[in-house]
A and B are shown apart, each in its own frame.
Chain A
Amino acid sequence: QVQLQESGPGLVKPSETLSLTCTVSGASISNHYWTWIRHSPGTGLEWIGYIYYRGSTNYNPSLKSRVTISVDTSKNQLSLWLSSLTAADTAVYYCATWDYGRYWYSDLWGRGTLVTVSS
């Protein structure tokens, strides 16, 4: 079955850049839209942005100046970069599918990876 697995550093320092990878197995990353979402206890779920396998993207305006999402079809992976980190970026980060253009839901999620921003 299709599985998504996030990976990256669990601890990053303030002002640094976070880099996360999502590896997709059991399906091709092509012909699909993918999204990154984060969850923090105080904020709940927050949409970060999406990418189509051909590279088109859009980001949450509140994060747009700091975020980049890319896709590597050869590795069946998508990546997230978030710069100028602060404690407010501490969250569990998820990659997920996205039903773009119809119902706009995410039915397949990774297990998530906890990122703590602290010196």
Chain B
Amino acid sequence: QSVLTQPSSVSGAPGQRVTIPCTGSSSNIGAGFAVNWYQQVPGTAPKLLIYGNINRPSGVPDRFSGSESGTSASLAITGLQAEDEADYYCQSYDSTLSGSVFGGGTKLTVL
């Protein structure tokens, strides 16, 4: 059971917009700790996609955006492309654990 909750799967057609929610609690997202998002293509290391709730590292397309409100966060992907098919994980810091916590991951399928 992951500390952060994500849907196990989402899907969308090419060109469409999808969102992936991430729900936490008062000891992590709700406490103001930043939410980060990673993209993981099977067989490769996770890649940082969004950090600090809304920031994109250099090289990440602006089709990817993040938001945060209360005890939840969300990753939005617009203009879906076949190459976006991957697993997506949210991550934050938890004050109870004094460490990093991840969501269970969401598999994005591009139809």
Report which A residues bind B (CB closer than 8 A): 35, 37, 39, 44-47, 49-50, 58-61, 94, 98-99, 102-107, 109-112
Q: Say yes or no: A106 contacts B102, CB within 8 Å.
A: no
Residues in chain B near residue A50, CB distance under 8 A: 99-100
* Interchain CA distance A94-B48 in the complex, whole Å: 14
Question: Could you say which residues of chain A place their CB within 8 Å of the CB of B45?
Answer: 94, 109-112
A sample of 27 cross-chain residue pairs with beta-carbon separation below 8 angstroms, ordered by A number, consists of A37-B100, A39-B40, A44-B2, A44-B103, A45-B38, A46-B102, A47-B101, A47-B102, A49-B99, A50-B99, A58-B99, A60-B97, A94-B46, A98-B100, A102-B52, A103-B52, A104-B91, A104-B100, A105-B34, A105-B48, A106-B48, A107-B48, A107-B51, A109-B46, A109-B47, A110-B45, A112-B45
List A contacts of B46 (CB < 8 A).
39, 45, 94, 106, 109
In the complex, how many residue pairs between chain A and chain B have their CB atoms under 8 Å apart?
71
The answer to whether A105 and B91 touch (CB under 8 A), given A59-B99, A98-B100, is: yes
